[in-house]
Amino acid sequence: AHLDRIEGVDEQVGAYLHVAGESALAEARAVDERRAKGETLHRLAGVPIAVKDVMTTTGIPTTAGSRILEGWIPPYDSTVVTRLKAAGLPILGKTNMDEFAMGSSTEHSAYGLTRNPWDLERIPGGSGGGSSAVVASWQAPLATGTDTGGSIRQPAAVTGSVGVKPTYGGVSRYGLIAMASSLDQAGPCARTVLDTALLHEVMAGHDPLDSTSIDQPVPDVVGAARRADVTGMRIGIVKELTGEGFSPLVQARFDESVQHLVDAGAEVVEVSCPNFVHALGAYYLIMPSEASSNLARFDAMRYGLRVSPQGVEDPSAEQVMAASRDAGFGDEVKRRIILGTYALSSGYYDAYYGSAQKVRRLIADDFAKAFEIADVLVSPTAPTTAFRFGDKTDDPMAMYRGDIATIPANLAGVPGMSLPSGLAEDGLPAGFQVLAPAMADDRLYTVGAALE
């Protein structure tokens, strides 16, 4: 049924980069046979899933939305994919994304636009716009994402779906094509809070192949989603993430959702996180710094594209590398590599990268103080509903400013969820964000399920 749906609508939506129909059907049939034999299977066995193209998959091309990886077929599975396969979830295909997960609209993909199923002239969010769009257009019931600064939560917000960035270290990064290693975190996307919890449970847990993976039991996210009880819970509204800078259309739905929580027995408090105003500046130094280092591996020798420089006889390795990078990386990727290498260069390191790291600490301290007076924090996920294609492509700063509400969680490593808070007056979905302390991911699901 899902393959038929893909056939029917993806020409318009453009969410899949690759559809693995045959292997998905084979896996579905294998699950059926095992079930017929009376084997006890995982409760999601046989439920198909779409995988963001930043996760390696053996036998299926993996591009991270970049020309530089065109045609690359990974020789190994990412841990997330290994776990999906072990639980028996057939992989429908790979979803479109901004190149190397850099962006908020999926317009930076080297492979074309993905459209928002609610309005085909608008963006599906980014970088995981393919994953949010497949879920919102019923081309997959579940999808995976990665969130370095909001790439799971903001696409969920603008497509009326649910997306979770788990606690940093909660889901293995092994086999995720790295953007900024200290911020990258994989997580689940789905249409309901409970579906998201079920997928979260499959993806999460300690992995010795990732040195920052947390060796602790996964919080009981499924139980929390089932109980959905917010009685007596203290909900903190972050002063710096509401009001000014947020569209009144989004704000109106946010206020209503907060009222629902009060009606369900929660207590509302206002909290202040004064250093959040510096989060964007710190993120857009730390992220490009780490990205410039991570992307150095694309040297045209080991993977993907290799271009010979025009008119050069016997080119050196450096010349091939330069020509390949010039042809293989898009403008946004080049912009971030330049910013990152500049921020890390000697003489500027302390002023830029060093200061950004200090701000990062202050933001983590803000969270710690806020969580003394509130069990969870809430805000709109994004300042506006889905914008039109081209609205922000000429102005990188305008695109970056849209990340204001999602970035603090990545800098501090805390978990966050975006879930629908209804349709705004413009007829487009608005997102509601919930943030919890590290390793208290279950609280996101308690609040999310209470709002559903």
- Residues known to be catalytic: 52, 127, 151
- Using CB under 6 A as the binding rule, the residues of this chain from 139 to 178 that contact ligand GLN are 147-151
- d(C-alpha 141, C-alpha 159), whole Å: 14
| Between 48 and 170, CB nearer to ligand GLN | 170
Q: How far apart are the first and last CA of the chain?
A: 26
Q: How far is the CB of 7 from ligand GLN (least distance, A)?
A: 29
* Residue 234 burial class via C-beta count within 10 angstroms: exposed 0-12, middle 13-18, buried 19 and up: middle
- Using CB under 6 A as the binding rule, the residues of this chain from 66 to 125 that contact ligand GLN are 101-104
Determine, following the binding rule CB under 6 A, whether residue 287 of this chain makes contact with ligand GLN: yes
- d(C-alpha 308, C-alpha 323), whole Å: 6
- d(C-alpha 418, C-alpha 234), whole Å: 18
Contact 18, 52 (CB under 8 A): no
Helix-then-strand count for the chain, H and E: 15, 11
Per the DSSP assignment, residues forming a β-bridge with 377 are: 236, 435
- d(C-alpha 27, C-alpha 314), whole Å: 48
Q: How far is the CB of 406 from ligand GLN (least distance, A)?
A: 7
Determine, following the binding rule CB under 6 A, whether residue 233 of this chain makes contact with ligand GLN: no
Q: What per-residue string of b and e applies to 192-221 under the rule 16 or more CB within 10 Å gives b? A: bbbbbbbbbbbbbbebeebeebbeeebbeb
User: Which ranges constitute the DSSP H helices of 204-309?
Assistant: 221-227, 248-263, 279-294
Contact 320, 308 (CB under 8 A): yes
- d(C-alpha 75, C-alpha 56), whole Å: 8
| Between 27 and 147, CB nearer to ligand GLN | 147
* Residue 277 burial class via C-beta count within 10 angstroms: exposed 0-12, middle 13-18, buried 19 and up: exposed
Q: How many residues form the binding site for ligand GLN (CB under 6 A)?
A: 13
- Using CB under 6 A as the binding rule, the residues of this chain from 371 to 430 that contact ligand GLN are 403
Q: How far is the CB of 404 from ligand GLN (least distance, A)?
A: 11
| Between 60 and 102, CB nearer to ligand GLN | 102
| Between 374 and 387, CB nearer to ligand GLN | 387
| Between 78 and 151, CB nearer to ligand GLN | 151
Can you say whether the dihedral through the CA atoms of 43, 46, 48, 51 is positive or negative? positive
Q: How far is the CB of 390 from ligand GLN (least distance, A)?
A: 17
- Using CB under 6 A as the binding rule, the residues of this chain from 171 to 210 that contact ligand GLN are 179
| Between 134 and 450, CB nearer to ligand GLN | 134
Per the DSSP assignment, residues forming a β-bridge with 378 are: 237, 434
Phi (first) and psi of residue 19, to 5 degrees = -110, 125
| Between 116 and 151, CB nearer to ligand GLN | 151
Residue 270, token pair as written in the block: 């206002």
Residue 368, token pair as written in the block: 């710690």
| Between 284 and 432, CB nearer to ligand GLN | 284
What is residue 181's three-state secondary structure?
coil
Enumerate binding residues for ligand GLN (CB under 6 A).
101-104, 127, 147-151, 179, 287, 403
